[in-house]
Structure 1
Amino acid sequence: MISYFIDFILGLGIGFIAGLLGVGGGFLIVPTLVLLGEPIHLAIGTSLACITISALASAYTHLRRGAVLFKVVLIKEAFSVPFAIIGAYLSAVTPERALRLIFAGLLLYLTYTLLRSGGKSLQESAGEVNYLRVPIVGILAGLTSGLLGISGGILNVPLFHTYVGIPMRYSVGTSSLSLLFTALAGTIAHYRLEQVDVNMVLLLAPGLMLGAHYGALTVHRVEPSLIRRLFAVLLVIIALKMLL
């Protein structure tokens, strides 16, 4: 009984962060599963399945709030998917240390742009979005995902907000729906390779769904400036992890 409660709390916490910031949560799920004794490949596949669940719950909540830009999702994913495949092949011929340095540098730059941006409110028109810049986000997120084997969500939100010009809450909501498709595709591939621990996914699922739902609701109840600061802290932590 205690182990079930721990799994629920774990899923609740990861789901809340995923729903609040529009990220997959894989950077938390994978190391946690490895610490629990899962082989790394099984942990990655299981993580993607968990991300699919949390992204579904948070995306549904954001959709009900009208905070998802479908055109952005379609354009971004059209570029992310093929470049994720290209990134996977490039990873085989690129030194890992160089990849980590480049990615950490990009995250620190995005932290700077997030903190200096004035932010935009939810009431601003989505018509101000620069759709011509969305393919660049798709390319960067896809390449990063393929090269480093991580969710592109960590790039989606800051790039949507600072580069494409999407209000912060829309950035989080749009990222959540985008992650759903990416994670689902990865989950199917890993499931066929028998690299998904279905039992673990089922144990974490209730907490993930509930946490992601309330995390997504919280986005619409706090100031965008607070979300930017939280995301900036997250970017710095991941950048330092990459460097160390």
Structure 2
Amino acid sequence: MQLYLPIAEVSVSLFLLLGLGVMVGILSGMFGVGGGFLITPLLFFLGIPPAVAVATGANQIVASSVSAVLAHLRRKTVDLKMGTVLLVGGLGGSGVGVWLFNYLKEAGQVDLLVRLCYVVFLGIIGGLMLIESLRALLNAQKGKRGKRKSHGWVHGLPFKMRFRASGLYISAIPPLLVGAAVGVLAAIMGVGGGFIMVPAMIYLLGMPTKVVVGTSLFQIIFVTAFTTIMHAVTTQTVDIFLALALICGGVVGAQIGTALGSRLKAEQLRILLALLVCAVCVKLGLDLVIEPTELYVISQEGAPE
């Protein structure tokens, strides 16, 4: 069953879009990521223009994140105070990101920028995740526990706040900067930023893993919602039919992912996610350098050959 998308101006299988939403929703619930780092490149592969994929993909991230956060709130694994500080930084960063997105769109360079950002960030994050996950898996098999620093440079910064749910007493500056960076990425790449935020919350802020996933999703909801509204108002690139199809699948998938994430081994799941991130990065990179099968040449009518 083909669904015509008026803003994207293409026809795509409805069942394919629903399945895509379910798959990304499962990842959202399992890992605390919005899933935009995966759904936006996959929309590229389906022929959706990058500008539409970025703006519309954020809708699905909001829906799947809300669905997953509700499950985490029931388990009391969300640090609302930390999430609020991250959110303040995220809203500021997303405003800057939307401005930069519009500037590059007017210059005609936004499609290339989005694809290059994905190749760079997915390559770095995927590689680091894979190395860390393999090391954790080997340590687990040997019966070793990973070393964790109790204090670092983060603990010496001013403007300290106490985050009781996370058991932390640290400066508010690092969470604000992490949130701002994720906000910029949300606007330019159409991602929730969880694939950067989750590692930063664990290794930079020192948050316990049990509250990281829910807190990350809490912040993602508001940043991506704000980003979606900004894109809808300024660029008119949000395709409502595409968004609804992805949302329906994402809400269901998030509940499944939350249940699976509480049962499966974290090390094995992180390796699978890292391999998936690297695979998408390689595919996007090849698309940038390999000559397309169909070439379009624009020539002036009546011009001499």
Report the alpha carbon displacement of residue 69 of structure 1 after superposing the two structures with TM: 0.9
* Selected match of 1:41 from 29, 51, 71: 51
Report the alpha carbon displacement of residue 44 of structure 1 after superposing the two structures with TM: 1.6
SS of equivalent residue, structure 1 residue 218? helix
Matched, 1:209 2:251: yes
Matched, 1:154 2:164: no
Counting strand residues as a fraction of each chain, which structure ranks higher? 2
How many residues matched? 240
Provide the rounded CA distance (Å) in 2 between the counterparts of 1:144 and 1:150: 6
Question: Aligned ranges for residues 61-72 of structure 1 at < 5 Å?
Answer: 61-72=71-82
Provide the rounded CA distance (Å) in 2 between the counterparts of 1:179 and 1:63: 15
TM-score (norm 1): 0.78
Structure 1, residues 30-70: CA drift from partner, whole Å, max 9, x if none?
23333434332222221111111111111111111211111
Q: 1:163 and 1:113, CA in 2 relative to 1: closer, same or farther beyond 3 A?
A: farther
* Structure 2 residue ranges without an equivalent (≥5): 3-12, 105-111, 137-145, 149-164, 287-305
Structure 2 counterpart of 1:15: 25
Question: Aligned ranges for residues 171-210 of structure 1 at < 5 Å?
Answer: 171-192=212-233, 193-210=235-252
SS of equivalent residue, structure 1 residue 126? coil
Letter in 1 for 2:228: T
Letter in 2 for 1:197: D
Structure 1 counterpart of 2:108: none
Provide the rounded CA distance (Å) in 1 between the counterparts of 2:20 and 2:90: 29
8 Å CA contact retained: 1:49, 1:183: yes
SS of equivalent residue, structure 1 residue 30? helix
Letter in 2 for 1:183: T
Report the alpha carbon displacement of residue 111 of structure 1 after superposing the two structures with TM: 5.0
The structure having more radius of gyration, on CA atoms, is: 2
8 Å CA contact retained: 1:54, 1:209: yes
Provide the rounded CA distance (Å) in 1 between the counterparts of 2:181 and 2:131: 18
Report the alpha carbon displacement of residue 89 of structure 1 after superposing the two structures with TM: 5.9
Cα RMSD over matched residues? 3.5
SS of equivalent residue, structure 1 residue 67? coil
Kindly, what percent of the aligned residue pairs are identical?
A: 30
Report the alpha carbon displacement of residue 74 of structure 1 after superposing the two structures with TM: 0.8
Report the alpha carbon displacement of residue 145 of structure 1 after superposing the two structures with TM: 4.0
Letter in 2 for 1:213: Q
Structure 1, residues 192-242: CA drift from partner, whole Å, max 9, x if none?
243211112222322111101111222222233334434443554466567
8 Å CA contact retained: 1:131, 1:164: no
8 Å CA contact retained: 1:169, 1:224: no
Counting helix residues as a fraction of each chain, which structure ranks higher? 1
Provide the rounded CA distance (Å) in 2 between the counterparts of 1:34 and 1:239: 12
Matched, 1:166 2:207: yes
Structure 1, residues 156-214: CA drift from partner, whole Å, max 9, x if none?
11111122222334212111111111110111122224321111222232211110111
Q: 1:209 and 1:233, CA in 2 relative to 1: closer, same or farther beyond 3 A?
A: same
Provide the rounded CA distance (Å) in 2 between the counterparts of 1:57 and 1:101: 29
Provide the rounded CA distance (Å) in 2 between the counterparts of 1:41 and 1:100: 13
Structure 1, residues 65-109: CA drift from partner, whole Å, max 9, x if none?
21111111111121222234445667879x969967874675244
Structure 2 counterpart of 1:138: 179
* Structure 1 residue ranges without an equivalent (≥5): none
8 Å CA contact retained: 2:36, 2:57: yes
SS of equivalent residue, structure 2 residue 238? coil
Structure 2 counterpart of 1:28: 38
Provide the rounded CA distance (Å) in 2 between the counterparts of 1:99 and 1:28: 13
